[in-house]
Amino acid sequence: MDTQRLILVLALGLVLYMIWDAWQRENAPQPVTPAEISQSTIQKTHPANQSLDVPVAEAPTKQNASTPGVPAASKREVLQSGKRITVDTDVFHAVIDTAGGDLRIVDLLKYPIKPHQPDNPFQLMNDTLPHLFIAQSGFANKRPANDGTLTAAPNHYTVYQASRDNYRLGDGEDSVTVDLVWTSPQGVRFTKRYRFSRGSYLINVDMVVDNRTPQPWRGNLYQQFQRSKEESKVGIGKIYTYTGGVTYSPEDKYQKISFGDMSDENLNQGVTGGWEAFIQHYFLGAWVPPKDKPYTFYSRKLSEERFVLGMTASNELRVEPQTSQTLNNKLFVGPKLQHILADIAPGLELTVDYGVLTIIAKPIYWLLEKIHGLVGNWGWAIILLTLLIKAVFYKLSETSYKSMANMRKVTPRMQALKERFGGDRQKLNQAMMELYKKEKINPMGGCLPILVQIPVFIALYWVLLESVELRQAPWILWIKDLSVKDPFYVLPILMGISMFVQQRLNPTPVDPIQAKVMMALPLVFTVFFLFFPAGLVLYWVTNNTLSIAQQWYITRIVVKA
């Protein structure tokens, strides 16, 4: 296989890999689920949890939720509703419902839907279909105890009482606290306490159990997300990223629990020191319990549209008479900012999903972030990062371009051999190998350096695709958002032109059909990239431009010298 043909295969393979990898992230089932991995461990270490009855079904009822941007006719209410409590901070507009004490609506004030509409924030959580996503917590239902202990406790059906309808983080305040109270018929007082902090997407969710009765109380805390299944979108140029559940444990590390997995089997996994989340492009919601407490992860399919992913405390809480205890949990609702996520819990930064090339992608992201800290513009940071990567691989590229230049010199002789031997492929290949040996040309010399660089290029592709920092990040002039397509298609056209120039610098393939395919390749790539995010296309334009300059220099100066 000659150099040009291999380059063609690699280029087409790169595009196909990106499409296939994106499709896999959206649609392919996981080969092994955490339930299969850890089932034997669960049965041995947490047998008591098999009897816990976590309430998951919901009865439809009328509610007053309003979802900006969604027509009223398309919204469907499926949750019970009580009184609505609004909470406003510098990063959130949130709505808590007294029915269950659920976190029902979360608007991210610093992340508008469109950059030119800063007062229309992106809504990450919502309690109506088709985009249902809420956070719930409570105590698992248990049958009445025979040992004299109390078990009545609130769950996500319970209607709490609240002293206020509105909370706002005031000037000079570091946090705002919302208390929801419910008292059992026996007199045990439960307080679900939300604490929102300034500048933070991490919410402290505490459950205070105050037992002023003459009998002990016991129960198991649970917390869960309820979410609707996202529809897959099909279309040319669409880039898919994974939307669904994920879990993390010290034993099994980062695992995806897709909606298909939840349909096929209920998750039931015992862990200590893990977390659960629903993730989507750029954003996530994650429950993070205390790292030293054992929990059982579970999932349920409520309907074709609605799914539950949650966790139940493995150890039963016991509160003696005339005492109180507080259970602490953390709820992260916000953007995938890696430096923040890494400080919250081990592995939480993996929700920025770079796939199998994470080990390469993470250093690339770190370098991109450092460059942005110096230049203050993500577009210029991409250009400078591409320049650095080209510098690192300069010697490999030099070898490749030298080989191409030498191949270009012998192209007329290769054409003559083809005409001489006609359809005898064996003799043609033998003659070409003798020519390579005589001229000291390595036919693979132009390909091996490219093979080495491909993993780096793919890793950078996912860094640019997954980084929320590039969402609505402007570059210059007409490029107001590097995370969406170029509105005037200037960058894709420049990318196609740069690919065409590269083709002219390379030796013409001996095979005329192959030559035509190579000349059509820039047009094919241009069509693909018309709808790609501008940040990705900017990388390709920069990389191609630098490659042209490097190839011209090596071909005209280095080889001739």
What integer is the mean pLDDT of 41-61?
A: 46
Torsions phi, psi for 480 (to 5 deg): -95, -15
Structure-block tokens of residue 285: 């919601």
Strand, coil or helix: what is 180?
Answer: strand
Please determine, for residue 58, whether its predicted confidence score (pLDDT) is greater than 60. no
Please determine, for residue 265, whether its predicted confidence score (pLDDT) is greater than 90. yes
Q: Rounded to whole angstroms, how far apart are CA atoms 269 and 79? A: 27
Q: Which tens digits make up the pLDDT trace of 273-298?
A: 899 999 999 999 999 999 889 999 99
Q: What is the pLDDT of residue 363?
A: 92
Q: Which tens digits make up the pLDDT trace of 123-173?
A: 999 999 889 999 999 998 666 667 778 889 999 999 999 999 999 999 999
Percent of the chain residues past pLDDT 70, beyond the cut: 75
Apex CA 111: angle with CA 172 and CA 529, to 5°?
155
Give the residue carrying structure tokens 């942005």: 372
Closest CA to 459 of 394, 385, 373, 401: 385
What long-range pairs does 334-343 form, CB within 8 A, spacing at least 24? 334/91, 334/108, 334/124, 334/201, 334/283, 334/284, 335/108, 335/111, 335/201, 335/282, 335/283, 335/468, 335/471, 336/279, 336/282, 336/283, 336/284, 336/466, 336/468, 337/468, 337/469, 338/365, 339/369, 340/201
Residue 326's DSSP bridge partners are 208
Q: What is the pLDDT of residue 552?
A: 79
Residue 137's DSSP bridge partners are 223
Domains of the chain, with CATH numbers? 3-16+365-558 (no CATH), 31-61+77-353 (2.70.98.90)
Please determine, for residue 71, whether its predicted confidence score (pLDDT) is greater than 70. no
Q: What's this model's pTM, rounded to 2 decimal places?
A: 0.80
Across the chain, mean pLDDT equals: 81
Please determine, for residue 375, whether its predicted confidence score (pLDDT) is greater than 80. yes
Structure-block tokens of residue 159: 């209607």
Strand, coil or helix: what is 183?
Answer: strand
Q: What is the pLDDT of residue 332?
A: 98
Task: Look at 239 and 204; give whichever has higher pLDDT.
Answer: 204
Closest CA to 17 of 355, 257, 280: 355
Going by pLDDT thresholds of 50, 70 and 90, the confidence category of residue 510 is: low
Q: Rounded to whole angstroms, how far apart are CA atoms 195 and 481? A: 33
The end-to-end CA distance of the chain, in Å, is: 29
Please determine, for residue 59, whether its predicted confidence score (pLDDT) is greater than 80. no
Q: Which tens digits make up the pLDDT trace of 211-234?
A: 999 999 999 999 999 999 975 443
Please determine, for residue 434, whether its predicted confidence score (pLDDT) is greater than 50. yes
Least confident of 167-171, 230-234, 265-269, 302-306: 230-234
Q: Which tens digits make up the pLDDT trace of 330-369?
A: 999 999 999 899 999 999 999 998 888 888 999 999 999 9
Q: In three state form, how does the secondary structure of 466-525 look?
A: HCHHHCCCCCCCCCCCCCCCCCCCHHHHHHHHHHHHHHHHCCCCCCHHHHHHHHHHHHHH
